[in-house]
Structure 1
Amino acid sequence: MRIGLAGAGRIGARHAAALRRLPEVETLVIADADAARAHALAARLAAPAAGAPDPAGAVEAAGSVPELFGAGLDGIVIAAATDAHADLVDRSLTAGIAVFCEKPLAADLGGTFQIVTAARASGIPVQVGFQRRFDAGNAAAREAVASGRLGWLHTVRSCSFDPAPPPPEYVPVSGGLFRDCVIHDLDLIRFVTGREVDWVVAAGANRGEDFFRDAGDVDAGTAMLMLDDGTLGLVAATRYNAAGYDARLELFGSKDSVVAGLDERTPVTPLTGREGPSDPYEGFLERFAGAYDAELRTFIDVVAGRAENPCPPEEALEAFYLAEACEMSRREGRIVGAGEVER
């Protein structure tokens, strides 16, 4: 099959390398707003490093993003800048091309809802890139809940700790800590527990650089969630975790307790018993390498008609509602019901 890639930046280059390794991808066509960057990535992939296996598929560079949609694609992976996502998804649906899109689908709730409506009307699959759903540990946690191994849950804790803040220019367009980062935890809690959230209460703090505060954002945040079956959810996130990148999910039940994301590279040092990790995770691309590969393999199965869409736009919309509720709670200093966000 012919798969397109819109966006040749950091995450785009990572997706391109993963797609190049999939035997079903006979041709990968890359486009970027910067045509030179697309050509450079295509050339790099077409000439693998010495000693590396040479994938059988071809790699091409389109002269422009519009040209990409005329390349006879079976599917497209959207990894462009956030503000381009909605337009690229809309173009894909108009062209009848199956879509994988990194979150968010759009910069706001209104745009996200429009995509949900358009995708539903078209019948064309749109898979959203919430890669944590494909992490082996998180998948095992979901199975532990579904099987009854944990009994009934009383507490779920999730964290997203970045080792260093993003560039200052990114913060004003990021959507803020809860929409940009915590949304992954919110989606994961819904996915793993199979429950909805009744209400949230959130708070944030600024202890680091002023550019977060100047943008109306926070560099650390926490949220408590009340799930619809009485389970408590706790989420914590920060842009300053110099020990390394840390993303964990802990589930505590009446029969057992489990944790996903705790291994020899988790950047946590016990005060007794052993030393801290010698090689902590540097970032999310490294921590979730296997998950990124797995979600793209699944997308190819969706394109081929072998699998159901594992993360449709409706799921992204629900996570966005919760992120909005958290941001509302942070700003207004109160409990916010999930249904208070305009739908």
Structure 2
Amino acid sequence: MRIALAGAGRIGARHAAALSALPEIESVLVADADPRRARELAARVRGARAVDTVGKLFTEGADGLVVTAATDAHAALVGASVTAGMPVFCEKPLASTVNGTFQTVAAARAAGVPVQVGFQRRFDAGYLVARDAVASGRLGWLHTVRSCSFDPAPPPAGYIPTSGGLFRDCVIHDLDSIRFVTGREVVRVMAAGGNKGDEVFRESGDVDTGTALVTLDDGTLCTASATRYNAAGYDVRLEVFGSKDSVVAGLDDQTPVTPLPERDRPAWPAAESYSGFLERFAAAYDAELRAFTDLVAGRRRNPCPPEEALEACYLAEACELSRHEGRVVEIEEVRR
């Protein structure tokens, strides 16, 4: 199997190495808006070969495309791939706006070509066990779900103005995870944000910390919280509480939390805290790429179709609207 990869940045380099390690991958064709970066990545990855332009990825006989380019290029690359009849894996988001996401989903549906979206938490072992616990009835009826995404430090200042904002860029993962694990739909949100860090967030109309109160269609209450300033380390968890039991995904000896009081307790975390998402979700990233190659080969159904990304996009958009207007927002207000 030959897989094309568009985008030779940090996540692109990680995916190229993971793909090349799969026994069925014959070669990885790499392209980037900066041809030099593509060549440098191809030189580091076994079985990889650089091509001069991203457009040439569609003429090299690849079986599938992995999109890890800048966000503003996602919709066009997915559109080109489905037009060419080539299955595509695209890191979230599919597009930078609700309308762009809607149009991309419509194009994929019309073409009948598989598009898998990269919400990697759906492949994390803890999240999968939590989902099974909910589905089996082990937890009873749910009353509370808490999700958090705490970054140890902000991304580069130049990224903030084009990121889409904390809720669209970061909290969207929590919102997707809540839907995925509970199997329920969100009906309304109430979101708020704050700034105590770098002025670049305020100047960009963004926030460095935010929380959304999310109500599911069965009345379950959920919170989704995120911050760019969690110096203890990268902390991503999902806690699910029911009438019979409760579970938590993402709590292990690298989770950067300290139980109190500390006296007479073993040190926690016992190991060095997670440095970031690439380390925390390494196994999940590998699993979602294996799933994509299975999808390309026709061995499995699409584990994260574009319609799921559109639903997450609606929820993030509703959170942004709620934050700006200071009110409860019904999801139907933003749905196309």
The reply to whether TM is greater than 0.5 is yes
1:24 maps to 24
1:235 maps to 224
TM-score, structure 2 as length reference = 0.98
Q: Which digits, 9 at most, give the CA deviation of each residue in 1:270-328, with x for residues without a partner?
A: 12323232400000010000000000000000000000001111000000000000010
1:303 maps to 296
Q: Distance in 2 between matches of 1:87 and 1:28?
A: 21
1:35 is the counterpart of 2:28: no
1:291 is the counterpart of 2:284: yes
1:113 maps to 102
Residue pairs, 1:4-153, within 5 angstroms: 4-46=4-46, 58-153=47-142
After superposing the two structures, state which structure 1 stretch, 273-282 or 227-236, moved more.
273-282
1:51 maps to none
Q: Which digits, 9 at most, give the CA deviation of each residue in 1:239-276, with x for residues without a partner?
A: 00000000000000000000000000000011232323
Q: Distance in 2 between matches of 1:196 and 1:314?
A: 13
Secondary structure of 1:258's aligned partner? strand
1:52 maps to none
Paired AA for residue 184 in structure 1: H
Between the aligned residues of both structures, percent identity stands at 71
RMSD: 0.7
Paired AA for residue 142 in structure 1: R
Q: Distance in 1 between matches of 2:88 and 2:58?
A: 12
Q: Which digits, 9 at most, give the CA deviation of each residue in 1:169-227, with x for residues without a partner?
A: 11010000000000000000000000001110000000101000000000000010110
Q: Distance in 2 between matches of 1:167 and 1:26?
A: 35
Aligned length in residues: 332
Secondary structure of 1:156's aligned partner? strand
Secondary structure of 1:88's aligned partner? helix
Stretches of structure 1 lacking an aligned partner (at least 5 in a row): 47-57
1:266 is the counterpart of 2:259: no
Paired AA for residue 94 in structure 1: T
The alpha-carbon deviation at position 167 of structure 1 amounts to 0.9
1:3 maps to 3
Q: Distance in 1 between matches of 2:112 and 2:303?
A: 15
2:274 maps to 281
After superposing the two structures, state which structure 1 stretch, 58-67 or 81-90, moved more.
58-67
1:163 maps to 152
1:334 is the counterpart of 2:327: yes
Q: Which digits, 9 at most, give the CA deviation of each residue in 1:61-107, with x for residues without a partner?
A: 11111111111011010000111101110110111100000000001
Secondary structure of 2:178's aligned partner? helix
1:320 maps to 313
Secondary structure of 1:169's aligned partner? helix
4+ residue segments displaced more than 6 Å:
none
The alpha-carbon deviation at position 342 of structure 1 amounts to 4.3
